[in-house]
Structure 1
Amino acid sequence: MCTSILYSPKDNYFGRNLDYEIAYGQKVVITPRNYQLNYRHLPTQDTHYAMMGVSVVANDYPLYCDAINEKGLGIAGLNFTGPGKYFAVDESKKNVTSFELIPYLLSSCETIEDVKKLLSETNITDESFSKDLPVTTLHWLMGDKSGKSIVIESTKTGLHVYDNPVNTLTNNPVFPAQVETLANFASVSPAQPKNTLVPNADINLYSRGLGTHHLPGGTDSNSRFIKAAFVLAHAPKGNDEVENVTNFFHILHSVEQAKGTDEVADNVFEFTMYSDCMNLDKGILYFTTYDNNQINAVDMNNEDLDTSDLITYELFKDQAIKFEN
């Protein structure tokens, strides 16, 4: 399960928590402009926009979990098992596998409006990358430098693209149902509540933060969606890059999963493996991992983006503790 957000204080920051029980050797991966993108059903792209994100690399192919491109468009894929459905090849459309969708969109689109146009003629096919890497059912959050985002879902009723008014996405249920549940928490507030329960009684407001008393705190996808939407909506807007990157990670960490709290099989627990924050305006990827709270960063503009080979950096690192004495 995962949580993804778009935060826009001045620059626009896009990223996610990746919550899972198994790591697949993900790295920070830059796909330069001249890396050859091969597709199952579409012509090869020899030249395209450069992109960077967190990815598994299999047979020299980037299987991105999330990424941005050099034009400031970002995308993250989140587990969508249950409602999600891919389809057989449709000769009347452009057929793209789910593992190709991120490079397919980032290679040629600059904005979410470009994405909407491209998806209007796209079919996501039910094909695995290999027998060792089966199909993963996902839906996707996309954001750009306008500060707006969309959700892409392929279900039994077809491919749907939804404008996202809260710039937040988790997992099940389908996105319209997630948004509908927000109405149940419309009165949640950072402010102390007024006594409308028994107005004539003197009720002791015994604690700070009672305005958030009914805010969900579970690790389930709907609870994380509601809490992340609330924290994002009330997050301060910083004055500089460091402050805003710090704010971004605090938003994500408000819904992170600690080991031992979400059992997905007998004595097997899902947890937040990494959190990343990508500045769409500057092309910088910041990240933390479960075992290393230090914020690390990779700037795609410090690389030669006109090369043809993947550029990788290690994601998972040992904890870095700074001793003061």
Structure 2
Amino acid sequence: MPIKIPDQLPASDVLRSENIFVMPESRAATQEIRPLKVLILNLMPKKIETETQFLRLLSNSPLQVDIELLKIDDRPSKTTPSEHLNNFYRQFDTVKNRNFDGLIITGAPLGLVQFEDVIYWEHLETIMQWAKQHVTSTLYVCWAAQAGLKLLYNLPKRTRKEKLSGVYHHHSHQPFHPLLRGFDDTFLAPHSRYADFSLEYLENNTDLDILATSDLAGVYLAATKDKRNIFVTGHPEYDANTLHNEYIRDFSEGMEPPIPVNYYPNNNPDNTPYASWRSHGHLLFSNWLNYCVYQQTPYDLEHFSEENFTKD
């Protein structure tokens, strides 16, 4: 089944060129089926690139998914045309009285910034609190996972001395958990963050199900018992060249970044990198849509209530 996005969204041409089933709004309006309503709060600077990456993963599902894009505030963007933001992104005030099946909160380049110094922190807290009453399942990605842990568990910010960057091996801890169905015992996933998510720290301070970890990168995937809050500390949505672009950017700014681990062939940045995590990225998102969203959400979103959800 396709994802439904605005007819003129730039990502639609990219996805169609990759033979991904994208349904325009005009065609979807003729179908008598209830699509899943998924909201994406895009905190990344390059919004067109990021929305395309997430839409690619959301498209690999038998479910029809109705996507809406949300921006955090009205500040002008240096990397995304204002016309694009005005045409395709909504303000929170326009959706706050509605219910959604799923919410994705992306990462943000704020790894070295304290929460209280994030200009939109209070607004982000408002949206995360709102999601408790209006969203079936929320997916927190990378920096958003750290922000979500602060909100839900009051965990202080933990920052690594050096940036974690590269593609790391992970181990599945609960192979029969719905989010891990179909996963190999070990798999690869990219990370790009300063945040520290050690296994001991989360085990000692939360009641989360720890689903996948890396010996080098710490916890990769964790979830609340009711599957309404999913924390992904890496970037399964990244394209093959995303880590390379970040490395070149940091290098050009004089930051002397480490070469991303297990990424370039022969560990040489002159060699073209390739994606070794794509299959598990798609599987993670299709599992989330099916088992955490579709299987739990009420058919009539107008009757959404936290009482609909019980812990397993």
Q: TM-score with structure 2 length normalisation?
A: 0.30
Larger radius of gyration: 1
Larger proportion of helix = 2
**Higher relative contact order structure (alpha carbons within 8 Å, sequence separation ≥ 6):** 1
Q: What TM-score, normalized by structure 1, do the two folds share? A: 0.29
Q: Which has the higher strand share?
A: 1
